[in-house]
Amino acid sequence: MPILVILALLLVSSAAIAISDALKPKVSRSWMIALVGAAISWLGVLLLRLYLPTDLSLFAWQPESLFNTRLFLEINYDNWPYALSLVTLCMAVIFTDSTRSFLPSSPKAWANSLALTAVNLLALFAGDPNMLIFAWVLVDALEFISTLPSRQSDHSAARLPTVFGVRMLSTLTLAAGTVSGWMVQPGFALSAIPSQAGIFFLLAAGLRLGVLPLNLPFLQSPEEKNGPALLLRLSPVASSLAVITRLPANLLANQPVWLALFKVLTTVAALYAAGMWLTGKNQHNARPFWIIALASFSIMCALNGAAPASRAWGSALLLSGSTLFLFDPPIRRIRFLPILGILGFIGLPYTLAASGWEGLLGTRFTFGSALMLLAHTMLVLGYIRHTFEITGTVTGLERHARITYPLGLILIVQTIVILMLGGWPGSLTSGLWVAGLASLLLAGLIASFYFWQGAQISALIQKQNFRFYRLGSVLIQGFQNILSLQWLYQSLGWIFRQAATVGLTVSRIIEGEGGILWSLVFLVILITLFLAGVPTP
Amino acid sequence: MSTPLIWIVIPIGFAGVLALLHNKPKLSSILTCVFTLGLVVLALVFPKDLAFVLPDQRIEIPSSLVILNRTVQISGESLTMVALLYAITLLWNLGNSVFKVSIWFNALSLVITALWVTVLSVIPFLYAALLIELIALLSVPLLSPRGKKTDLGLLRYIVFETLALALILLTGWMLSGVSAVPAASPLLLRASIMLLFGFALWIGAFPFHSWMPMISQTSAPLAVSLLLGLMQTALSVFLLTFLDQYAWLRNLPQVYTSLRWLGVIMITFSGLAATLQQNLARHFGYLIIMETGYSLLAISLTPQGGLPYLAMLLLPRVLSYFLWGWALSGIRQLQPEASFEQGSLSGLYHTFPLLSMSILVSMLSLLGFPLLPLFPQKQMLWLLTAQNAPETIPFVIIGGLVMLTAILRLFRLFIQPKGKKTSPNPAGEPAKLIVPIILMFIVMLAMAIAPQVILPRMLEILAPFTHLTLF
């Protein structure tokens, strides 16, 4: 029941803002409603930690002999960290968005944020596959409704069908996984995904995260900097990450070739994304790469048979990332706050990501593990670089924002600490302390090298300082083109056009004047073929 | 008083009255809606044993009526199907009151529904072929309104239905000697081949499908969706009558395999063909073909328990057709010059947001997309297919994926920016068009989330088929 109360509270707050804004617009009132709704929900989710695991059965489809579905919600150690991260993000967005309270569109954005959080929480709490499928569709529908009007005359609207096409494909993959799972275990719960179906669940989550296969449809679109836009981008990620956490331990155990292939693809995705994150123009432009890099870490944990370890990297993606992304406008005096966000993914003993190393590197240290360690180093370097390079013209804030804005960032850091201390059994651990230390040392060495050379890290991306700039840029551009899957869409388009030419010709013949005769010929041929196989008495 | 009198003779008589009132469309619409609503409610509340127990007596309503030496029988178990057919008519007549498709719509829709009820009730049931031909002929005024040149697709429809009539009657003639031949006789195989080809022509199976997209393009969307929806619903159940009545037919090992492959080919073909269409209205023909494919797939899985899903598909499917017909009719009403050609669809979302989304939702619903009402049943059908005929699964997946591609192509067209800042249609989408859509969305959503509320009732449609494996 508390689960429903939390969801209802968020939805009611969202509706209240919409109604209040429609009847008598007042930004401060809308903001207060949003904040109160989000704060109580945050507290509710935090308190749920005391009652884990808990579930809420909704209903079963009848007759039960004909359906395998019993819709229920469940909260356990796998999804609770993500739920808390998501509600924290929502609350932080509302806190930090107080700097934009002068905009008349803000109340609508807050209402959207609350509704989006509620629907994504539903996806996170889903206990059975069909509940998750429904929640994903709701998330996509809501995202579509809140995205499309703003892109009415925007050419990035042309990319929306690709984005939603990938989402639909991921939903249908999940539906296929459900059917596949039912073949061995009818009515299974998400906490016990059959290994046969695991690959479908992995692909479904991978598609939504943009990792498996790597796809970056919005790469060329400018990333919006405001908080609600960040929530819009990160909340579906949370619900996908929660699926990865629940993947079976023996995922692809019987198919070593596929397992190896997926590991290679994931490693490539992680390395590429970490590299792009490090060299990105600024944190907002590089945001998709942050998501892909850490999502790859989570997927690698699942591929290494330690899916629960992915919680560490998933939480880091949401929390550390949002600490940095929400630091806008960048106020110099509180620059230490986003730096604290590094606690979420640095991986040193007794920090949030310490428990994630074993999953990421696997039981044996291999070349792949070294590459993942390198990717982590690049992420750390990129994070530090973006934090120090943030510049802005804003030197002060309005009186209320001077309190609420840093409070939003502090809230995220505080949640990192909460998850670190008791996010799940074993979250407070020294973990593979060598890995965390190695990554930090490597980052230190690389950073020192550049400072020693008298160059700043950002100079790396400047043309004149990069000897093989042209070759490098061509390679990166080519790689990006491959990863954005534009070649695939163009090839499919070409095949489609050729097929259309043939198909339309056939269609013209069948629907033309002689169409009936053609059909009769078909009929006679088919009857003859059938009867030819019949022995006469 | 008998059940055929209530649900066949009286409606046909009432249709005659409506025909006289064709110059008063509003009155005619109201009368039709009230009358069909009454028939639906009566069919739903009528006792299954057709007996009313009063304090001092028991009144039994006869279930059969003899007309021209043929018996028409509507048992208590068949009343759910009767209710469904009249509910479809009711829904579309409500639509006609808004869009005014034809002055004959009310009367003809009622007669056609009554005839479909007769098709499912006539004994010997092979005579139903004649009635189906009659329905095809009565559909002409609805599909080709007065003043318009007769469409090639319509002519083709009549030709195929007539060919089917010949094949089915030929089957009847061949079967007259069945009792005298051994069970393994080639005569039975020939009869079943004739029968299956007759059905293939009726349902517009590939390669006899060409009339469906053609009439979808040229005729009024509401009329096409009603006629094809009724036909598909009734013929699916009619095929069960054949399987139920003829033991030799259902025991032929090739029958279920043939039906399965025919269904799978229709699913794959319709998806492929839909992606090639340049005219939005033509998509409907292919959606019908896809759904017929799913019906055949479910029937082919009868021994494995596929029939309940067929029964539970009927109502949600009809709602999706209605949504499609409503949305297209709405666009045509607001933009009479709308041709539905690809070029004219660009940016449709920005002009008619809800109507354009309704088109996509209805297509997604028919595809079996989650959170839409066909999903629960189709998901179970996919499971049954994967368990019992895994070799067909790749074709079903291809069919679904290419249909999804067709939907995404439309989506891309609809949301395409028009270059300059666009604003919704100045006249907007009137409430009389929007409110039914919203209501339909709510009903569809409820059916998808909680199918147990309404759909189990649809299982009663299968009650008369005592020889088939139901659960």
Task: Write out pLDDT tens, residues A390-419.
Answer: 776 666 667 777 888 889 999 999 999 999
Domain that holds residue A235: 2-452
The answer to whether residue A473 is domain-embedded is no
Mark whether B79 and B190 lie in a shared domain.
no
| Spatial contact of A259 and A300, defined as CB atoms under 8 Å apart | no
ipTM: 0.89
Q: Are residues B184 and B227 in the same domain?
A: yes
What sign does the dihedral A516-A522-A525-A526 (CA atoms) show?
negative
pLDDT winner (highest mean) among A399-408, B97-106, B154-163, B221-230: B221-230
Whether B445 and chain A come into contact, CB under 8 Å, resolves to no
Q: What dihedral angle (degrees, nearest 10) is formed by the CA atoms of A464, A470, A471, A475?
A: 110
- C-alpha distances in angstroms, B232 versus B255, B265, B295, B361? 20, 17, 9, 20
CB–CB of B451 and A182 under 8 A? no
What are A218-254's pLDDT values in tens digits? Answer: 555 555 667 788 888 888 899 899 999 999 988 888 8
Which of A87-91, A261-265, A532-536 shows the highest mean pLDDT? A87-91
Are residues B102 and B157 located together in one domain of the fold? no
At B18-63, the pLDDT tens digits run: 999 988 989 999 999 999 999 999 999 999 888 888 888 888 899 9
> For residue B413, is it within any domain?
yes
Residue B184 confidence (pLDDT): 60
Q: Are A307 and A412 in contact (CB under 8 A)?
A: no
pLDDT at A162: 81
B positions 278-337 inside 8 Å of A (CB): 305, 308-309, 312
The closest CB to that of B421, out of A153, A504, A511, belongs to A153
Length of chain B: 471
From chain A, the residues in CB contact with B416 under 8 A are: 157-158
pLDDT band at A535 (very low <50, low <70, confident <90, very high): very low
Inter-chain touch A179–B383, beta carbons under 8 Å: yes
Mean per-residue pLDDT, A304-311 = 92
> What band does B326 get if pLDDT is binned at 50, 70 and 90?
very high
Same domain, B13 and B152: no
> For chain B, what is the radius of gyration of the CA atoms?
22
Highest mean pLDDT out of A78-82, A459-463, A482-486:
A78-82
Residue with tokens 């195989």: B189
In a shared domain, residues B420 and B291: yes
Query: Do residue B210 and residue A67 have CB atoms under 8 angstroms apart?
Result: no
CA distances from A168 to A174, A263, B324 (A): 10, 25, 21
Whether A152 sits inside 8 A of B185 (CB atoms) is: no
Whether residue A241 is contained in a domain is answered as: yes
A400, A405, A438 from A26: Cα distances, Å: 16, 20, 53
Per-residue model confidence as pLDDT tens digits over B126-155: 889 999 999 999 999 999 877 777 788 899
Domain enclosing residue B32, as ranges: 1-123
Q: What angle do CA B212, B216, B220 make, to 5 degrees?
A: 140
Question: Highest mean pLDDT range out of A235-244, A421-430, A464-473, B289-298?
Answer: B289-298
Tell if the CB–CB gap between A516 and B159 is shorter than 8 Å. yes
Using alpha carbons, select from B363, B373, B367 the residue that is nearest to residue B267.
Answer: B367
A394 and A517 share one domain: no
- Closest CB from A61, A510, A526 relative to B376: A61
Say whether residue A516 is in contact with chain B using an 8 A CB cutoff.
yes
Which candidate from A137, A160, A182 shows the least CB-CB separation from B370?
A: A137
Task: Say whether both A388 and A517 belong to one domain.
Answer: no
**Could you tell me which residue, A155 or B211, shows the higher pLDDT?**
B211
| Pairs across A and B, CB distance < 8 A | 147
Nearest Cα of chain A lies from the Cα of B118 at a distance, in angstroms, of 29
- Which helix (DSSP H) or strand (DSSP E) does residue A75 occupy? strand A70-75
Interface of A with B in 472-511 (CB under 8 A): 496, 499-500, 503-504, 507, 510-511
Summarised one tens digit per residue, pLDDT across range B431-468 is 899 999 999 999 999 999 999 998 889 999 999 898 88
Q: Per the domain annotation, does A189 fall within a domain?
A: yes
Looking at residue A537, its pLDDT comes to: 38
Judge if B98 and B130 occupy the same domain.
no
pTM attached to this predicted model: 0.89
Higher-pLDDT residue of B102 and B320 is: B320
Of A337, A341, A179, whose CA–CA distance to B378 is shortest?
A: A179
Q: Before A329, cis peptide (omega within 30)?
A: yes
Q: Averaged over A327-351, what is the pLDDT?
A: 86
Q: Which of A452, A475, A507 is the last residue of a domain?
A: A452
Chain A residues whose beta carbon lies within 8 Å of the beta carbon of residue B376: 61, 67, 69
- Residue A154: what pLDDT? 58
Residue B471 falls within a domain, yes or no? no
B158 shares contact with chain A (CB less than 8 Å) = no
What average pLDDT is seen over chain A?
85
Is A289 within a domain? yes
Q: With a cut of 60, say whether residue A148 has pLDDT above it.
A: yes
Q: Which of B123, B151, B167 is the last residue of a domain?
A: B123
Asked whether B5 and B65 are in contact (CB, 8 A), the reply is: yes
Query: CA–CA separation, B466 vs B241, rounded Å?
Result: 10
Q: Under an 8 A CB cutoff, do B275 and A496 touch?
A: yes
Q: Nearest by CB to B452, from A61, A151, A520: name it.
A: A61
CA distance B374 to chain A (A): 13
Rounded (5°) CA angle A488-A490-A494? 115
Q: Nearest Cβ partner of A503 from B186, B276, B404?
A: B276
**Model confidence over B254-310: pLDDT tens digits?**
788 889 999 999 999 899 889 888 899 999 999 999 999 999 999 999 999 999 999
B27 CB near a chain A CB, below 8 Å? no
User: Does the residue A465 lie in any domain?
Assistant: no
Token couple for A39: 């704060």
- Chain A contact for B417 (CB, 8 A cutoff): yes
Q: Is B439 touching A (CB cutoff 8 A)? A: no
Flag if A523 and B208 touch (Cβ within 8 Å). yes
Looking at the domain assignment, is residue B467 inside a domain?
no
Neighbour tally for A478: CB within 10 Å: 10
**A103 inside domain:** yes
- Whether residues B349 and A523 touch (CB distance < 8 A) is answered with no
Best A140, A519, A534 residue to mutate vs chain B (most B CBs within 10 Å): A519
pLDDT number for residue A78: 92
Q: Read off the pLDDT band of A473 (50, 70, 90).
A: confident
Structural domain tally of chain A? Answer: 2
Nearest residue, CB atoms, A133 vs list B214, B370, B415: B370
Same-domain check for residues A385 and A492: no
Residues 45-104 of A with CB under 8 A from B: 59-63, 65-69, 71
Whether residues B1 and B23 fall in one domain: yes
Q: How confident is the model at residue A298 (pLDDT cuts 50, 70, 90)?
A: very high
Q: Which of B100, B123, B146 is the last residue of a domain?
A: B123
- Residue B402, both tokens: 């290419």
List helix spans (H) across A326-456.
336-340, 357-361, 367-389, 399-422, 433-452
A507–B273: do the CB atoms touch at under 8 Å?
yes
Q: Tell me, yes or no, if B12 comes closer than 8 A to chain A by beta carbon.
A: no
Do B1 and B140 lie in a common domain?
A: no
Provide the phi-psi class of A391: left if phi over 0, else alpha when psi is between -120 and 50, else beta: beta
The CA distance from A483 to the nearest CA of chain B, in Å, is 21
Best of B276, B313, B354, B413 to disrupt the A interface (most A CBs within 10 Å) is B276
Q: Which residue of A has its CA nearest to B455?
A: A62
Instruction: Tell me whether residues B456 and A63 touch, CB distance under 8 A.
Output: yes
Residue type, A216: L
Q: Is B281 inside any structural domain?
A: yes
A466-494 average pLDDT score:
72
Judge whether residue A331 has pLDDT over 90.
no
C-alpha to C-alpha distance for B226 and B434, rounded to whole angstroms: 20
Q: Which residues of A touch B419 (CB under 8 A)?
A: 153
Report residue A536's pLDDT band, with 50, 70 and 90 as the boundaries.
very low
Residue B71 CA to residue A37 CA, distance in Å, equals 68
- Whether the CB-CB separation of A285 and A385 falls below 8 Å is answered with no
**Is residue A460, in this structure, part of any structural domain at all?**
no
Residue B43 has φ and ψ, to the nearest 5°, of -65, -35
Q: Residue B425: CB partners within 8 Å, gap ≥ 6? A: B334, B351, B352
Q: Could you tell me if B330 and B347 lie in one domain?
A: yes
Q: Are residues A443 and A499 in the same domain?
A: no
* B467 interfaces chain A, CB cutoff of 8 Å: no
Q: A517 and A398: one domain?
A: no
Q: Which of B106, B123, B140 is the last residue of a domain?
A: B123
Mean local confidence (pLDDT), B107-129: 92
Judge whether A170 is closer than 8 Å to chain B, CB to CB: no
Residues B152 and B180 in one domain: yes
pLDDT at A414: 94
Interface of B with A in 101-130 (CB under 8 A): none
Burial grade of A222 (CB within 10 A; 0-12, 13-18, 19 or more): exposed
For residue B210, the chain A residue with the least C-alpha distance is A511
Domain shared by A327 and A408, yes or no = yes
- In terms of domains, do A408 and A518 share one? no
Residues A431 and A505 in one domain: no
Could you tell me if residue B427 is inside a domain?
yes
CB-CB under 8 Å, B419 with A153 = yes
CB contact (8 A) between residue B275 and residue A500: yes
Query: What pLDDT, on a 0 to 100 scale, did the predictor assign at position A105?
Result: 67
Does residue B376 sit in the same domain as residue B445?
yes
Residue from B152, B310, B371, B375 whose CB has the most chain A CBs within 10 Å, to mutate:
B371
Taking residue A366's Cβ as centre, other Cβ atoms within 10 Å add up to 12
Give the chain A residue whose CA is nearest to the CA of B445: A134
A45 and A178 within one domain: yes
What's the total number of domains in chain B?
2
Q: Which residue of B has its CA nearest to A138?
A: B371
pLDDT, position B392: 94
pLDDT at A329 over 50: yes
Nearest partner of A315 among A371, A373, A355, A286, judged by Cα: A355
Whether B446 has its CB under 8 Å from any CB of chain A: the answer is no
Measure CA A135 to chain center: 15
Q: Average the pLDDT over each of A22-36, A372-386, B327-341, B414-428 and give the range with the smallest value.
A: B414-428
Mean pLDDT of chain B: 89
Taking 80 as the threshold, does the pLDDT of residue A483 lie above it? no
Min distance B156 CA to chain A CA atoms (Å): 7
Distance from CA of B370 to the nearest CA of A (A): 6
**Cis ω for the linkage preceding B207 (within 30 of 0):** yes
Q: Which of A491, A508, A516 to mutate to test the interface with B (most CBs of B within 10 A)?
A: A516
| A403 and A525 fall within a common domain | no
| Among candidate residues A431, A452, A473, the one where a domain is terminated | A452
Residues A316, A341: contact at Cβ < 8 Å?
Answer: no
- Please give, rounded to a whole number of angstroms, the shortest distance from the CA of A194 to a CA of chain B: 15
CA distance A170 to chain B (A): 12
DSSP code, position B279: B
**Do B171 and B97 share a structural domain?**
no
Q: Are residues A518 and A414 in the same domain?
A: no
Mutate to test the interface with A, among B171, B218, B255, B408 (most CBs of A within 10 A): B408
